[in-house]
Structure 1
């Protein structure tokens, strides 16, 4: 009877281990993707370059560090500054800058980190002309 217990224990262990499957070599792995952008980020958008001015194209430049934007600066295409506006964190990975409506006709700028935009970030201009 004493020899039966170790044999039964060993058979149970072998039987329970036989149900485990080995790890597949093609198993998906979680990888951190590299950030596909760096500051400054520049471009153009539609706006009004100052009160009483005709609507047109204005230039912007977003400054920041790492993945966090710090401010956005607007300029006319001839280089006249329309102001610099700070970004604030609205939720993780989402940043909002406001207060530029008088100078640009844009109510706010929404910057959020997203690979859905293809560049690693999206910039949305809210309340433009």
Structure 2
């Protein structure tokens, strides 16, 4: 077990989990093999309703953190390693820089590699993309 950190508490009964996870639920096939997210491997071929992949839930119970549609983040896309602090910005107010913002989670159109927690991409918020 890792050292205890002052992290916010999750839903009632949820325990903080030590270590990093490749996907929100852990490894792709652990503890039981099967499709856990709407990625290319699901063969659905489009977006799906939320809740049909309950075995893909994170330890805190959150679902749909991987696959289905890309999730916008409020941070500008910057190259690693970051230099200094990175401030979150709002895509919906005037507090926005021109350029690319971070996307995470992958989509139905992408292979499961793009749904990993460590994978990120970036696009301009004005770009239209059906994936």
Q: TM-score range by the shorter chain?
A: under 0.3
More helix as a share of residues: 1
Determine which structure has greater relative contact order: mean sequence separation of CA pairs < 8 Å that are 6+ residues apart, divided by chain length: 2
Structure whose CA Rg is larger: 1
More strand as a share of residues: 1
For normalisation by structure 1, the TM-score amounts to 0.23
